[in-house]
Amino acid sequence: MRALRIVLVLLAALLVWLQYRLWFGNGGAGDVAQLQGQVAQQAHQNDGLRQRNAALAAEVADLKSPTGEAAVEERARSELGMIRPGEVFYRVVETPAPPTLPPPPDSDADDAENTP
């Protein structure tokens, strides 16, 4: 009977030690939850980067296509301000509106303040 009690105490101690390692030890439940959060965050970043890569791949395919010459020309005109030989470039510059001046002080109000 005494040997059974010793075995039971050892098994209980082993169970407590394993539970401690499971919940609080290295590689335990807390670490797993933290790593799952990091994986979810990285997956979100990867999705954004996949979308960006798809947009860039579509733009490259557009530029390489036979109609891509028009896209190249449009970008050169809008971003670089380039024109074709023989074309005349006109830049329309609007003059800014003149600054508005504050209204002149009311002379009647000044007279009323200075009168005894």
pTM across the whole model:
0.44
Contact 86, 77 (CB under 8 A): no
pLDDT at 107 (0 to 100): 63
Of these ranges, 18-27, 76-85, 104-113, the one predicted with the greatest mean pLDDT is 76-85
Amino acid at 74: E
Q: What is the pLDDT of residues 64-86, one digit of tens each?
A: 887 777 878 888 888 888 888 88
Label residue 114 by pLDDT band (50, 70, 90): low
Q: How would you label 66-95 residue by residue, b for 16+ Cβ within 10 Å and e otherwise?
A: eeeeeeeeeeeeeeeeeeeeeeeeeeeeee
Contacts of 83 (CB under 8 A, 6+ apart): 77, 89
